[in-house]
Every structure is written in C-alpha cells, then in structure tokens.
Structure 1
C-alpha cells in the first residue's frame, strides 16, 4: 500500500510556534517531526549559500541548528523518538558558535571591499595533517564522554560526526576547499547512524548532502583554479623565462 502522510495537530488553535514544535508527519507508520524536516531544509539552504559564498548562509544555518537541537534531544523534549544523539545535539550548539565566527569573517571580507565573502583556497599540508589528527583524536576523546552521558550506540559514530562537523564548519569559515571533503566523511557515517536511530528525515537529507558536497567541492576547486590563473596572468612571475 502507498505510504500515507498525515499531519497531526494537537490543538487547532495553537500558535505558529506551538505548531512548529508539535506538528508531526506519519509516513508508513513512522513519525517524523516537521521541525526535523524544516531544520534540515534550512541546513540545505545554508549549504547552497555556502557553495555560492553568500554571507546569508550563516544566519540561515543557525535557524536550522536551533530547530535540530530540539529534535536530537528527543528524550529531553518528549518527542516521539526518545533517543538522544548527544553528538548530533551538541554539534548544533557548536554550529551556532562557529557559524557566528564564520558570519563575522565573511561579513568583514565584504566590508573591506572583497568581491565575494570568501576566496576558496587549499589548506597547507601542515593544516591538512592537523585536520586529520584533530578528526581522529577528537573522536577518540569524545567517545567515553558521550558514552558516559548516554548517547546512542555506536557512540564512536556520534563522536565522529561531531568532530567532523566542527572541523568542516571551521574550514568553511576559513575558505579551505578541503572542508567539503570533511563533510563527505561525516555523511558516510551519519546516514546509517541516523537510520538506526530513527531520524529518517535527517538521514535522507544527509544522503542528499553527500552528492551535494561533491558538487560543492568541484565548484570551489574550479573557482580556486580560476582565481589562481587570473592572478598569474595579472602578475606574472618575473623570474620565469619565456
């Protein structure tokens, strides 16, 4: 039988905020919160803005983070899915903090006369090593902390997603092309974890993110190559013999 979609309203007279918090969608017997869907759509819009290097990507992403924070603390907020993904919830707080930093950074670039909010460039080899060590080391440090707090198993996946999201968001703020690759590493682990925890809307969006991040990576790489060629043409190396 085809899946039936039924929006549940607890109170016909509720205000928009109450509706956003309580509204549910039932698909094939599975309950999905509308704020999980809307929060992920904000995240998708933010990713599109990031790919286009638009400053508005940061505040839009923050709105999605606030919504998803309440979703991933299911047991705290009494949602239909009583599963706490502490890494997922904690990364929403981290997103908000790092996004404010990115928002300031990109806004400052625009105020100083730059054509775009950020100029994509490759990180140095030293930075790449530090990113790799930070992802692995941070995950190992967070595993016992998340497990002690009662996060959903496998805890290592939740910790990996948290650290990867932290590094990817910081990398986006800095304009490193590699940040898209970190997102791919996050998505590969995130999709099966979210499905096993029952967060189906987020899992579907993560799956879509995987393809989207590949596109974003090649776009930023192409922009970097074009900028490098423009600089080389405008300011040729005088030491080169023709």
Structure 2
C-alpha cells in the first residue's frame, strides 16, 4: 500500500511546475511499446498495457488527485480502448509468430484501397459523433481535438494489430492534433513525449514500408517458384 501511495503522490519538480511520476512512467512504457512495435515484437503489447494503466489514472485528473486538474475524457477513454485492442493485438501477433516460426510477430502489408477509405471515413465520422459526448462529460476544450485523438488512436492500434503499414501515418495525424491539446491542458510530459512520437512514427513508417516491400518481393518469388515447379501431388 505504501508503494501505491507513493506512486500516486510522487511528483518531479521541473522549474516552477511539477510532473506527475505516473505520467512520466506511463509514457516511458508507451515508448518501449512503440519501439517493440517497430521491431514487430510481441512484448510491445504488454508493455503498452502497463503504460495505459498508468496514464488512465493521470488523465482522469481530479478523480485520482492529479496535480493537473484538467480531465481529458477522450485521453482517459482511449487508455481503456488501448488495453482492449492491445489484448486482441497481443493474441493475434502471438498466433502469427507461432504460425510463421519467426522471431518477428507479423509481416507488414499495405491495406487495400477500400480499407484506407474506410479508415478515413471512420476517423472523421467518429470524431464528429464523439465530440458532443465528450463535451457533455466536461472534457477539456477544444473537445473535437480530444475526440480526434481518441478515434485516431483506436484506428492506429487496430491497424498495428492487423499489420497495416498505414497505421504509422494515422499516429502522425493523432500527434498533430494531440500535442497542442496536451500542452494547453498542462500535461507537459505527455505533450513532449507525443512530440517525440511524431518523429518516431515517421521512422517507424519507413521501417515497416521497407519490410512490406521485402515481404512482397519474397511472396512474389515464392509464387514464381510454385508456378515453375508445381507440386506433383497437387497436379494429380
């Protein structure tokens, strides 16, 4: 109990202000998860869940006695969403790794054109639908930005679970809106971390893009070999 009390009360003085230790630790776990995701390692998901649990207590503001009183329902709600989707992604990547017999969990691939359109529409429609809900709950303004980060995070996490290379670009769209929102709400540790994420996600996109090209070339070579040398058993 003493450890939990210390965790919830601990603060880091910075200049004339303070940072909440839980916010810093949550973002460190988030960074570890992002690094694991870039390398397509299964441990990225449980690391992310640990960070989500910490950040959930932070973004609920006064509910947990936060040093920063602003409550961001979209940011808090997306931590719950992260945990739910992370459990799905964790299982999917574990199954994919076992099936492939590889150290990496999943083979990156591009989403179909129809899927891309659906992702864009879902982001816009979801933001429009959630904005009045978050507003009624008293979320920090501008409320549409809170809704945007929630929907974008949901779609990006789901895209990561499915192995779509585009999920990195969705994160960029989240960071463009989320960083100013977090700065204005006083969550400086998260704001600086998301600012770093903006550059990190571009690097992650390049890594997955190259991996998807390598995978596509390998699949094409496999098809050519199977076409040139068909399985006799199948031919019969």
TM-score range (shorter-chain normalised) is over 0.9
Q: Which residue of 2 aligns with 1:152?
A: 140
2:224 is paired with a residue whose SS is coil
Of 131, 155, 170, the residue aligned with 1:182 is: 170
Q: 1:114 & 1:177 partners in 2: Cα distance?
A: 21
What does residue range 96-175 of structure 1 map to in structure 2 within 5 Å?
Answer: 96-115=83-102, 116-175=104-163
Q: How many residues align?
A: 226
Q: 1:114 & 1:199 partners in 2: Cα distance?
A: 42
2:18 is paired with a residue whose SS is strand
Q: Which residue of 2 aligns with 1:57?
A: 44
Give 5+ residue unaligned stretches, structure 2: 229-236
Q: How far apart are residue 34 of structure 1 and its match?
A: 0.6
What does residue range 4-153 of structure 1 map to in structure 2 within 5 Å?
Answer: 15-115=2-102, 116-153=104-141
Q: 2:50 & 2:29 partners in 1: Cα distance?
A: 7
Q: Which residue of 1 aligns with 2:201?
A: 213
Structure 1 stretches of at least 4 aligned residues deviating more than 4 Å after TM superposition: none
Q: 1:26 & 1:88 partners in 2: Cα distance?
A: 24
Q: 2:221 & 2:160 partners in 1: Cα distance?
A: 27
1:151-203 alpha-carbon deviations (Å, 9 max, x no partner):
00000000000000000000000000000000000000011000000000000
Of 202, 215, 220, the residue aligned with 1:227 is: 215
TM-score, reference length from structure 2: 0.93
Q: 1:81 & 1:63 partners in 2: Cα distance?
A: 21
- Select the structure that is richer in helix: 2
Q: How far apart are residue 15 of structure 1 and its match?
A: 2.8
Q: 1:53 & 1:218 partners in 2: Cα distance?
A: 14
Q: 1:114 & 1:50 partners in 2: Cα distance?
A: 18
